[in-house]
Amino acid sequence: MKSAIRDLDPDLLKDMDQKIREIERLVLDLEEMGKGMPVVEKNTRSILSFTHVLRFGISDVAGMLDKQGGA
């Protein structure tokens, strides 16, 4: 897996990481605004679950590249 990580474009991963974090921030804002509204509460939980998976796949790899000096 390490060689596959080294082949990834660090700038692209950083950009994707930034977008994922922005999505999470916006969803958390929406979640706060929609407290007490079941449709908002349920769907924001779902969106946060998806962004968690993205973060695991993208943001964690971007962080690893930063630590390895790849970016």
Domains of the chain by residue range: 9-68
Note the pTM of the prediction, 2 decimals: 0.72
- Cα–Cα distance, 27 to 66 (Å, whole number): 26
45-60 mean pLDDT: 88
**What are the tens digits of pLDDT across the range 21-41?**
999 999 999 999 999 999 999
**Which of 33-37, 55-59, 62-66 has the least mean pLDDT?**
62-66
Angstrom distance (rounded) from CA 30 to CA 67: 33
- Supply the pLDDT for residue 51: 93
- Segment 32-57 shows an average pLDDT of 94
